[in-house]
Structures are given as structure tokens and as C-alpha cells.
Amino acid sequence: MIKPHGSDQLNPLFVYDDVQHRALTHEAASLPSMMLSSAAAANAVMMGSGYFNPLTGYMNLADALGAAEHMKTASGLFFPVPVLNLTSDISAIKGHKRIALRDPNVEGNPVLAVMDVQAIEEVSEDQMRLMTEKVYRTTDPVHPGVAAFNSAGRYAVSGPIKVLSFSYFLSEFPDTFRTAVEIRNEIAERGWNKVVAFQTRNPMHRAHEELCHMAMDRLGADGLVIHMLLGKLKEGDIPAPVRDACIRKMVELYFKPNSAMVTGYGFDMLYAGPREAVLHALFRQNMGATHFIIGRDHAGVGDYYGPFDAQSIFDEVPKGALLIEMFMADNTAWSKKLGKVVMMREAPNHTKEDFITLSGTKVREMLSRGEAPPPEFSRPEVAKILSGYYQSISKA
């Protein structure tokens, strides 16, 4: 199986040993504590799950600046984004070397992790601006990722952590949330060697489904891991339970048995376009995938990124920094001429009118009225689930 990033073995930071887990939980009750931001809590879950291997905790300022500016930490480890624990209030933890980190997304704010504090550093406005510009390619406060990053605070609390909980992901998504360790184990159990990963924060329409089939066929892959984001999204995005139901129905009806896994991970979307695409590739390698589909406007939002910036950024990734290979995909759509879904760049002598393409707004309007999009655009079984959701919110 493909090696994880930065080490021979995956090193998840979750404390699996029962005795140690109980001891740390007991100790945490008497430790000074800080409330994490939602993004920092998601970072802890990703480290606990093994997706951010080989990180041992939150980055210090030098490592974060290096990751932002050069995609490398101060020690030279390739990592495409800063992984920070930012806060605006350090009064409760100042001077303490060991603290409890509390979960902002679960009622009662239980302890999510225990941290050995190595540094508390104030981040200057110039440093925040540099990291924002490098990671998001914009400082526009309307950008949802920029807004979240810049609202978390100006103190970076860094050091190794031991993770005690997977937050709400395990309880709310017991059939879907999987750690990188669990996905690696299941890939091995299924006997897959060549594995394609597909990232999604949306339900999968017909074009997405066919793109996965194309990638599997062209690569000769043994299996597909559909890996959906289960964390915080921007307003207006479809809730994870609805996406989950849509994707499971599609796989049940339109994929061969033992050819696709439906899984999810606990992370807040960055909407960082190209940089987030590289991060997505890194943690798909950690979960055992050998190939990763990068499509049009991957991890983008609005008009902040060019349609294929998330593909061209891989030209900047140093050779050998990642072992996982990319499957670079064009926009896919149903061709009226050919009677099938194709990549648009592979369809000569086509005009825009030869494809069935619908805007997201148009699809939402149709579903809200109980109208199904054309079957060339969306499987009817998937459209039925989506229609039920949109009609429920239009009546609310």
C-alpha cells in the first residue's frame, strides 16, 4: 500500500489505549483550558484521524509562515497550508505548559484534546495578511475561508496534542465518518491496490458519477473512495446528511459491488482552491489512495480562482513531495451528439448547445418546485432525495 506522507507508518494522534485515554480525560478536568475555534477543532480531528500525518500538533508561527509562503515548514516538511490554533484570548492559559482544548461544536464544550504548549506567539497584521494572500490568493473579507481564518484571533498556540474525541462527527455520521486508519484498513480488506479518491462537498450529479467511472476505467483502478466533507460549510451548501443519502443511493444503483466506498471526514471547508486541492491530495495519500481526481474549480468558491488553477498548482509541488498521483479532469457534461457524459475537451465539433448543462440556481429552482432535472443531468433517484430537501426548506 502507498506510504503515508512524511513517515513509513501512519501516526494518528487519537489516544486509542483505554487506560491512557481515561487517565488523560481525568487529568484534563483539572487543566487550564481554552475554547478552540471551529477550524482549530477540525484540525485536531484531522490530526487525530491521521489525515494530517506526520504533524504532531499545531504549527508554530515559523512553520505556519513557511507552509503559507513555500509549502514547507521550517524543518523542510512539505505541507501546503498552515495548521494553526488561533485564539483572541490567552488569559486562561498564559504561563501554563499543559492545557485542555475544548470543543466549540458540541454541547457542554467537552475536552477534545490535551496539549503541551511549546509557544504562544502574537501574529502581526502583516503576517496574517501574508498567510491569507498565499493560501487564499485574496484578502477579500467576503471570501468565506478568508473570513473564518481572520476572525479566529491573533495568538497562535502551538505544540503537540493528544486527541481524545472525534467531536460530533462520530455520533452524527456513524455510518460515514472514517479515520485515515480505518480507510487504509478497509482498502486492505477489500484487496484493492490501485485506489482512486473523489472529493465532494455536494451531492454527486450524473457528470460526477461518470467522471469517477472514467477515472477508474482509464487507470485500471480496483476501487473508488468517495470521500465527502462532513464539517462546516458556507451558508447555502447542502447539509451532509442529505448529501450522504444522495451519494449512497447513487452507489447502490450505479456502481458494481465492492467497487466504491462511501466515506467522510471531519474538516471545515477552507474554500482555498488550489492550495486546498494540494491539501486534499496529501490527506488522500494518508488514507491510502494512489490516485486523486482534481476537477474543474476544485475547492473553489465564487470567481476567486481560475477553472484549472487547482490543477496547475501541482506544477509547483516539488517532485517526490507527494506519492499520490493526480487524475486531471475537465468539466464533464452530457453530450446530445454522443448520447453520453464526456469530458468537454474530449468532445470535438461540439458547441455549448450540444451539452446539457444547468446552473446550480436553475437546478435548485426546479427541485424546489418538485420538478426533476433531466435524467442526463441527475439520476432520478438522487433528484427525488434532493427535491424532498429543497421543498422542505422552501416551506419552512
Residues 182 and 87 in one domain: no
Spatial contact of 322 and 282, defined as CB atoms under 8 Å apart: yes
Query: Could you tell me which residues are beta bridge partners of residue 72?
Result: 78
Q: What is the pLDDT of residue 374?
A: 87
The answer to which of 217-226, 332-341, 357-366, 368-377 has the lowest mean pLDDT is 357-366
Rounded CA-CA distance 125/137 in Å is: 16
Q: What is the pLDDT of residue 361?
A: 67
Domain final residue, candidates 131, 150, 170: 170
Domain that holds residue 141: 18-170
In sequence order, the 6+-apart residues with CB closer than 8 A to the CB of 206 are 334, 341, 375, 376, 377, 378, 379
pTM of the model: 0.94
Residues 100 and 210 in one domain: no
Spatial contact of 164 and 20, defined as CB atoms under 8 Å apart: no
Question: Which one from 201, 248, 296, 364 is the annotated catalytic residue?
Answer: 201
pLDDT at 358 over 80: no
* pLDDT one-digit tens code per residue, 87-143: 999 999 999 999 999 999 999 999 999 999 999 999 999 999 999 999 999 999 999
Rounded CA-CA distance 353/356 in Å is: 7
Residues 360 and 257 in one domain: yes
Residues 151 and 238 in one domain: no
For residues 206-210, average pLDDT: 91
Give the residue from 174, 262, 191 showing the smallest Cα distance to 226: 262
* pLDDT one-digit tens code per residue, 18-56: 999 999 999 999 999 999 999 999 999 999 999 999 999
Spatial contact of 44 and 57, defined as CB atoms under 8 Å apart: no
- Residue 201 bears catalytic tag: yes
pLDDT at 308 over 90: yes
Give the residue from 266, 370, 292 showing the smallest Cα distance to 49: 266
pLDDT at 199 over 80: yes
Residues 68 and 128 in one domain: yes
Residue 63 one-letter amino acid = D
Spatial contact of 40 and 152, defined as CB atoms under 8 Å apart: yes
Q: What CATH number is attached to the domain comprising 275? A: 3.40.50.620
Q: What is the pLDDT of residue 54?
A: 98
* pLDDT one-digit tens code per residue, 325-354: 999 998 888 899 999 999 988 998 999 899
Instruction: Count up the domains in the chain and report the number.
Output: 2
Local confidence band at 359 (pLDDT 50, 70, 90 cut-offs): low
C-alpha angle 58/269/62, rounded to 5°?
30
Spatial contact of 375 and 358, defined as CB atoms under 8 Å apart: no
Domain final residue, candidates 151, 170, 189: 170
Residues 124 and 249 in one domain: no
Spatial contact of 227 and 287, defined as CB atoms under 8 Å apart: yes
Q: What is the pLDDT of residue 336?
A: 92
Residue 164 one-letter amino acid = L
Question: Which one from 202, 248, 296, 331 is the annotated catalytic residue?
Answer: 202
